[in-house]
Amino acid sequence: MSDKFCARCGKSLTEGSLNYMVHIQILSDFDGVLPYTEDDLSEEIQAVLKNVDTMDAQELEDDVYQEISFVLCEKCKKIFARDPFSSDKVVFPYNKKLENLIH
Ligand SMILES: [Zn+2]
């Protein structure tokens, strides 16, 4: 008996069955703009450094870079590839359309 399951529907994925590995990389993006004036930048840096001391190392790493992997069955792969954000169930703010969110 296989111990692989579809991450979306929970279906058992038997040996030899068609299944798909989804690997997602989430990277922090920086547009080069710091939303601080020079005067309060020093205070902000001090606040960040103070928080770094109390934050979990994994949490800090996840804020910058994160990888997520899961397996989908054939049916769920088609659904995920067609609509990865399940936009039929999610209401995007400001009525943004999915096409505007994907680069
Ligand atoms: Zn599935």
Query: How far is Cα 91 from Cα 8, in angstroms, rounded to an integer?
Result: 20
Ligand 1 midpoint to CA 89 (Å): 18
Distance 45 CA to ligand 1 centre (A): 45
Ligand 1 ion local residues (Cβ < 5 A): 6, 8-9, 11, 73, 76
Q: Which of 21-25, 33-37, 55-59 has the lowest mean pLDDT?
A: 33-37
Average pLDDT taken over every residue of the chain: 83
The residue-averaged pLDDT of 24-45 equals: 84
Domain spans in the chain, listed from the N-terminal domain onward: 19-101
DSSP-assigned letters across all residues of 22-38: EEEEEE----S--SS-H
pTM beyond 0.75: the answer is no
pLDDT in tens, 85-102: 988 765 555 545 555 555
pLDDT at res. 89: 67
Residue type (1 letter), 96: K
